[in-house]
Amino acid sequence: MLVELIVSSQDPLLFKVLYERYVLMVFDKCLSFSKNNQEAEDICQDIFLKLLVKIHSFRGASKFSTWLYSFTYNHCVNYYHRNKFKKFEKNASNIEQMCDEVIAQASDEDLSQLLKVEKLNEALGLIPFEDKEILISKYQDFKSIKDLMGIHNAGESAIKMRLKRAKEKLLGVYNVVYFQALL
């Protein structure tokens, strides 16, 4: 078997054969996650570099292609979650910067409205990350329900329920934060 030869000989030419055999399968799975050819190529390369180090952990309990598919899928899921969090943090800092700019230009009449925006931002920081992320995706990034279904790998009713529950949590926290500020 090719994998056993690679593990025992550490021959890069044999790994090249393995790479050529499976690169399209791995790339297709990466592309299904990233939706961007360049990013999918980068992820694919990362997977094969990681595979070079981890190939000895293949035990033959299943076909190698099945094991590699699972290896690829797990890497893509981890990559997606890491980058989703980074993108979300960037968006959150943009919200704070926009709030600061609006406050600097506000009139006295606008201060009441700004207090509400500030307290909303504070409330967003107090709800669970998953709730905050789905609300920002929907209302700041203007993602449709269909987009959210793909991102969260869930059905339409599940996404609508998540949005409803996230809004309820946010409203509950907002009311506490806002009314505490008025006292």
Quick one: pLDDT band at residue 103, thresholds 50, 70, 90? low
Q: Crossing angle of helices 12-34/64-104, nearest 10°? A: 50
Q: What is the pLDDT of residue 46?
A: 93
User: 16-30, 84-98, 128-142: which has the highest mean pLDDT?
Assistant: 16-30
| Prediction pTM value | 0.47
What span, in angstroms and rounded, lies between the C-alpha atoms of 3 and 58? 8
What span, in angstroms and rounded, lies between the C-alpha atoms of 87 and 49? 25
84 Rama class: left (phi>0) / alpha (psi -120 to 50) / beta = alpha
Name the more confident of 113 and 20.
20
Domains annotated for the chain, with CATH where assigned, are 2-80 (1.10.1740.10), 107-182 (1.10.10.10)
What is the Cα Rg of the chain in Å?
23
Quick one: pLDDT band at residue 43, thresholds 50, 70, 90? very high
Q: What is the pLDDT of residue 123?
A: 81
Q: CA geometry: angle at 29 spanning 27 and 31, to 5°?
A: 65
The whole-number average pLDDT for the span 154-172 is: 92
CA 101 to chain centroid, in Å, comes to: 28
